[in-house]
Amino acid sequence: MWRKILNILSWAILAAYLGVSLWFTEGHLRQQTFKAVRVIVSDSLESRFIQAADVTDILSGKGIRIVGSQIESLNRDQVKSTVETVPGVKDAVVYSTPGGILFITVWQRRPVMRYVSTYVSFYIDSEGKEMPISDRYSAPVMMVTGAGDHKFLIDSLFEVVNYIIRDRFLNSLVSEIQVFPDHTLELVPRVGDNRIFFGNAGDYEWKLAKLKVFYDQALPNVGWDKYSKINLAYSNQVVARKWTKEQRMERDSIRMVRDTLGEGERKKAKEEREIQDN
């Protein structure tokens, strides 16, 4: 009997102690203030669109003061939504520690192509949304030039580019896509001086499959530099046009100038390194 009463009293005392401790802790936390802000850019090794200062600067610019403010009173949803207005931020998570540290973890947007024209330049990210370029970082993505309007880039070309960059061979082959006013396309290879006329963006999977077969089976037998233009616009064939004599002469002249300029740049860089070493 007495043992049962002692057990009940013990549990009652423990519950009272926990209640008082919880009340004291909650009261202490309500009065505690933030001592510091830590910004974590989770994918900073992959791209450098965002720096920690971008996050803290926009919070300061919006009048959101964190250090010195009470932990309990901070509107974390407001902090999150404000951080996500930074152009390169895709998502943000905001949380705090009992020690008074506010952590802000951000994930960057991932561009898949960059459009460049005479008047504008911007990225299209992995979600098909326009993304401004950065002064501090240039992403190594597919370059798109020419007469592409925004609707065409999003509705049609976005799918073509995604298909190319997900294929190891095609991604290593194509460095640039040129868009003509009638929305036909031309692919620019990374190596060589030939061009690949694509036609419109329709049936892109079939056209790119033909291109892979052509590079795999035809070009190794005749040489990668035999044709000036490869045409994929025809439904059941690949049409390749050889270099004319005039085209070869022009191509060789351009190569000579390019090689000469390249040698000059290499010599200049070597001289600069030697000066720095001395």
CATH 3.40.50.11690 segments of the chain: 111-243
Written as one string, the DSSP assignment of 146-188 is ES--HHHIIIIIHHHHHHHHTSHHHHHHEEEEEE-TTS-EEEE
Q: Calculate the average pLDDT of the chain.
A: 79
pLDDT tens-digit series, residues 68-117? 888 888 889 999 999 999 989 999 999 988 888 889 999 999 999 999 98
Q: Note the pTM of the prediction, 2 decimals.
A: 0.71
CATH 3.10.20.310 segments of the chain: 36-108
Task: Work out the number of other CB atoms within 10 angstroms of the CB of residue 200.
Answer: 14
Phi-psi region of 200 (alpha: psi -120 to 50; beta: other; left: phi over 0): beta
Q: Which CATH number fits domain 36-108: 1.20.1440.230, 3.40.640.10, 3.10.20.310, 3.30.43.10?
A: 3.10.20.310
> Six-digit token pair at 208?
């790119």
111-243 topology per CATH: Rossmann fold (3.40.50)
pLDDT tens-digit series, residues 181-208? 999 999 999 887 788 899 999 899 999 9
> Six-digit token pair at 96?
């705090």
What pLDDT shows up at residue 216? 86
Q: What angle do CA 71, 53, 42 make, to 5 degrees?
A: 80
